[in-house]
Chains A and B, each alone.
Chain A
Amino acid sequence: MQLALFWTFSLLMLVFALAVVFLRNPVASALSLVVSFIGLAALFVSLDAFFIGIIQVLVYAGAVMVLFLFIIMLLDLRSEKTRKLNLAALAGGGLVLVGFLSLLVRVVFAKDGYGEIPREALTGPITDVVGVGVTLFKSFTLPFQVVGVLLLVATVGVVLLSKKELK
C-alpha cells in the first residue's frame, strides 16, 4: 500500500514538474508547480515528516504560489512564443543532462545493491512542531541566527531593488 502511494505521488510530482518546464502558458506552469508541491508534501508525510509536509502545503503551495500568480498577473505575461532552438545550447544542455542522469542511474542502481545503511540510528525522528522548535533553538542556534541575518539582508535588498524613487 505504502509503495503504491509512493509511486503515485512521485509520478504525480515528476509529471507536473516536467509540465512546469514544458508548458508555454506561465499560469499553467505555476499551477502545475502547485500540484508538484502537493505531491512532494505527500512524500514528506509518508516519511513521517508531518511538519515539513504541512509547511510545504502552507508556505510553498499556498503563499509562494499565490505570490507567483500575482506577479504573473501584474506583469501581464502572455504565452511564451516559440523560439528558434539554439542547436549548440541544446547540445550542451543535453550533454550535461545525459551525463548527470547516467551518473545518477549508476549510483542509484549500484550493482551490489544498497541494503542496510552502515551507521548508527539518528536520534529519533522529529515529527512535531515542538520537537522542530526545540531542535532549532537548542542544537542549531548558530545556523538559525545566521539565517536571521540572511533574512534581514534579503529584506533590505528587496527594498533597495524595488523602491521607485529613493529620497
Chain B
Amino acid sequence: MIAIPSVTLEILVVVIGIFLLMAESFFPAADKRHIGWTAVLALGFVFVMSFFVTGFSGLQENPAFYVMDPLGMFFKRFMLVATALTIILAMDYAPVYARFIPSATPQAGVGEFFVLPVFACAGLMWMVSAADFIMIFVALELVTITFYVLVASMRRNNGSLEAGVKYLILGALSTGFLVYGITWIFGVTGQTALEGIQQIVPRVKAPFQLGLFFGLGLVLVALGFKIAAAPFQFWVPDVYQGAPTPVTAYLSVASKAAGFVVLLRVVETFLFAPDLDAAWASKIVSVLAILAGLTLLYGNLAALPQNNLKRLLAYSSVAHAGYLLVALASLSSPNAEPAIGFYLVGYLLMTFLAFFVLVQVARVAGRDEIADFAGLGRRSPVLAFGMLVAMLSLAGLPFTVGFYGKFLIFVAAWQSAQFVLVGIGALTVACGFYYYLKVVMAMYWQPAPDGAPAISVTPVTKFIIFLLVAAIIVFGVWPEPILAALR
C-alpha cells in the first residue's frame, strides 16, 4: 500500500473544483449535467481513496492545525457522501433552478450550482480535522461563504433572496461572536491550538478562569448558530424554506455535522482537560444540557402546526440538533461520542431521502406544501414508500437508523445521569410522531386531487431512493459497521 498523506484528500477535492470550474467555462454549450456527473464520480474516487490514506497527515507544522484521527476520517467520508448526494439532488432540481436565474439559455448558470458544493466539501473536510482555532475559523468561513452564495443563487425567487440576506447577516453576526470568543481564549492562554489550550486550562488561576470561560461561552454561541440550537435557531425556518431545496438538504446535513464535530472537539478540549476544576466542568455540562432541552422543546413544538414540508423539515432539523446536544451534554459516558457519529449518519440518510422525494413532488406541484403529497401512495408508490421510510425513521420507529440513533443517545444520557433530558427527549419523540405521520397520512389516507399530473422519476433517482431506504433499514438492525468505523 502506498502511503498517501490524508491532507491529499482535501487538496484533491479543491483541484476537482477548479478543474470543473474551468471545464464549465471551456464548454459553455454542453449540457451542464455532465459537470454534475463528473463531480459525483470524482468525489466517489476521493471517497475510495480515503480508505488508502495513512494516519500521517502529510504536514509537518508547528502548531498542528490539522489532526488525523478516526473521527476526522469518518466525517471526511461523511462529507464526501453528503456532497455527492447534494449534487445528484441538484441535477433533479436543475429545471426548477433554471427557471429562477436570469439567463439566455436554459442551461446557463446552472454549472456553478454543481461546482460550488465541491468547494464547500473541501471546507467541511478541513473543518472536521481542524485542531486549531485559526484553522476552525478559516475552514468555517470557507463553508459559510460558499453557502451564502448557494442560498441566494436563485436570483429571481424572492424567497431565495430573503433567505440569502438573512443567512448572510446572521452568519456574519455569529462569525463576530466566534472571533471575539477566540480572542478571549487566546488572550488568557496565549494559544490557538486546542491541544495547547487543553494543557493550559487547568493552570489558569481563578480571576482568569472567568475570562477563559467567557470566551468559551461566546464560541458556543457562535457554533450554536451553525448547528441551529435554540435560542440561536431563529434564522433556520426562513433560510431553509427559501434556499434551493438541494442546498437546504446540504445545509441541514453537512453544515450541521461539521458544526457538531467542531463543537465536540472544542468542548472536549475544555471538559477533558487534566485536573479541571469540577465546578467548571459541571457548569459547562449544565449549559449544554439547557441548550439541549430548549432546542428539543422548541424544534418539536414549533414543528407541530407546519403545513409546508420544507419548513417542517427545518424545524425537525432543529429538533434533531437537540437530540445531538443531549449526547454532547452526556460526554462523561464513553458511549456519547459514537452515538453522535451514528446519529449524524442516520440523519444524513433519512434527511436526504426525504429531500429526494420532496424535490420530485415539488417539481411537479410547483410548491412544497404537505397538501401536495395527498394521494401520493397511488400516484407514485415508489416515492411514497421512500417518504414513508424517511418519515418513520425521522420519527424514530424501531428497526430504522432513526430509532437506533436515538436509543444510543438516550443510553449515553442515562449513563451520565441526565434524567431530565431523557424525560424531555421521550416526550418530544412522541411529538415527532405526530408531525411526521401527518405527511404519511396525506400520502396514504387522502385522495389525490383531480387531474394531479403524473410524476416521472429518473432511474438514477429511483436507484438512490432504493439505496437510501435499504441503508436506513439495514443500519437500523445491524449498526455494527458504522460503530466500528467510528472507533
Q: Which residues in A have their C-beta under 8 angstroms from that of B142? A: 146, 149-150, 153
CB within 8 Å of B: which A120-167 residues: 120, 122, 139-143, 146-147, 149-150, 152-154, 156-157, 160-161, 163-167
CB-CB under 8 A for A114 and B207, given A157-B145, A161-B149, A166-B101 = yes
Q: Which residues in B have their C-beta under 8 angstroms from that of A111? A: 207
Q: Do residues A112 and B149 form an inter-chain contact, with CB atoms below 8 A?
A: no
Which of B116-124, B240-248, B391-399, B449-457 lies at the interface with chain A?
B116-124
The contact of B123 among A106, A118, A146, by CB within 8 Å, is A146
Q: Which residues in A have their C-beta under 8 angstroms from that of B141? A: 150
Q: Do residues A153 and B208 form an inter-chain contact, with CB atoms below 8 A?
A: no
Q: Do residues B14 and A117 form an inter-chain contact, with CB atoms below 8 A?
A: no
Q: How far is the CB of A136 from chain B (nearest CB, A)?
A: 11
The distance in angstroms between the C-alpha atoms of A148 and B135, with both chains bound, is 13
**Chain B 113-144 interface 0/1 with A at a Cβ cutoff of 8 Å (1 = within):** 00110011011001000001011001101100
The distance in angstroms between the C-alpha atoms of A142 and B122, with both chains bound, is 13
Q: Name which of A106, A110, A115, A141 has the most chain B CB atoms within 10 A of its CB.
A: A110
CB within 8 Å of B: which A82-117 residues: 103-104, 106-107, 110-115, 117
Q: Do residues B104 and A165 form an inter-chain contact, with CB atoms below 8 A?
A: yes
Q: Do residues A166 and B103 form an inter-chain contact, with CB atoms below 8 A?
A: yes
CB within 8 Å of B: which A36-80 residues: none
Q: Which residues in A have their C-beta under 8 angstroms from that of B126? A: 146
CB-CB under 8 A for A161 and B210, given A142-B61, A142-B65, A150-B142 = no
For A154, the closest partner residue in chain B by CB is B145
The distance in angstroms between the C-alpha atoms of A157 and B109, with both chains bound, is 11
Per DSSP, are chain B's interface residues mostly helix, strand or loop, or mixed? helix
Q: Do residues A153 and B62 form an inter-chain contact, with CB atoms below 8 A?
A: no
Q: Do residues B119 and A143 form an inter-chain contact, with CB atoms below 8 A?
A: no
Q: How far is the CB of B401 from chain A (nearest CB, A)?
A: 32
Interface residues on A, range: 35 or more
Q: How far is the CB of A151 from chain B (nearest CB, A)?
A: 9
Q: Do residues B108 and A167 form an inter-chain contact, with CB atoms below 8 A?
A: yes
For A107, the closest partner residue in chain B by CB is B214
Which of B68-76, B198-206, B294-302, B354-362 lies at the interface with chain A?
B198-206
CB-CB under 8 A for A157 and B208, given A139-B61, A166-B102 = no
The contact of A120 among B21, B190, B204, by CB within 8 Å, is B190
Does A81 belong to the interface (CB within 8 Å)?
no
Q: Do residues A119 and B189 form an inter-chain contact, with CB atoms below 8 A?
A: yes
Q: How far is the CB of B408 from chain A (nearest CB, A)?
A: 33
Q: Which residues in B have their C-beta under 8 angstroms from that of A112? A: 206-207
Q: Do residues A139 and B104 form an inter-chain contact, with CB atoms below 8 A?
A: no
Q: Which residues in A have their C-beta under 8 angstroms from that of B115? A: 156
Q: Do residues A118 and B205 form an inter-chain contact, with CB atoms below 8 A?
A: yes
CB-CB under 8 A for A149 and B61, given A107-B211, A112-B207, A118-B205 = no
The contact of A156 among B62, B149, B214, by CB within 8 Å, is B149
Q: Do residues A107 and B190 form an inter-chain contact, with CB atoms below 8 A?
A: no
Does B28 belong to the interface (CB within 8 Å)?
yes
Q: How far is the CB of A105 from chain B (nearest CB, A)?
A: 11
Q: How far is the CB of A110 from chain B (nearest CB, A)?
A: 5
The distance in angstroms between the C-alpha atoms of A122 and B105, with both chains bound, is 58
Q: Do residues B102 and A160 form an inter-chain contact, with CB atoms below 8 A?
A: no
Q: Which residues in B have their C-beta under 8 angstroms from that of A118? A: 203-205, 208
Does B342 belong to the interface (CB within 8 Å)?
no
CB-CB under 8 A for A167 and B103, given A119-B189, A157-B149 = yes
Q: Do residues A153 and B139 form an inter-chain contact, with CB atoms below 8 A?
A: no
Q: Do residues A149 and B119 form an inter-chain contact, with CB atoms below 8 A?
A: yes
Q: Which residues in B have their C-beta under 8 angstroms from that of A113? A: 207
Q: Which residues in B have their C-beta under 8 angstroms from that of A117? A: 187-188, 190, 208
Q: Which residues in B have their C-beta under 8 angstroms from that of A104? A: 214
Q: Do residues B211 and A142 form an inter-chain contact, with CB atoms below 8 A?
A: no
Q: Do residues B134 and A143 form an inter-chain contact, with CB atoms below 8 A?
A: yes
Does B59 belong to the interface (CB within 8 Å)?
yes
Q: Which residues in B have their C-beta under 8 angstroms from that of A142? A: 7, 59, 61, 65-66, 135
The distance in angstroms between the C-alpha atoms of A146 and B123, with both chains bound, is 8
Q: Do residues B105 and A167 form an inter-chain contact, with CB atoms below 8 A?
A: yes
The contact of B109 among A119, A139, A143, A160, by CB within 8 Å, is A160
For B150, the closest partner residue in chain A by CB is A157
Selected A-B contacts with CB under 8 Å, 18 pairs: A107-B184, A112-B206, A114-B207, A114-B211, A119-B190, A139-B63, A142-B59, A143-B132, A147-B138, A149-B119, A149-B122, A150-B123, A150-B138, A153-B149, A154-B149, A157-B116, A161-B149, A166-B101
5 A-B pairs closest in CB distance? A157-B149, A166-B103, A166-B109, A119-B190, A166-B108
Given A111-B207, A143-B134, A153-B119, 14 new contacts (CB under 8 A) = A103-B217, A107-B210, A110-B211, A117-B188, A141-B61, A146-B139, A146-B142, A147-B138, A150-B138, A160-B149, A160-B153, A161-B153, A165-B102, A166-B108
Report A's interface with B, CB cutoff 8 A. 103-104, 106-107, 110-115, 117-120, 122, 139-143, 146-147, 149-150, 152-154, 156-157, 160-161, 163-167
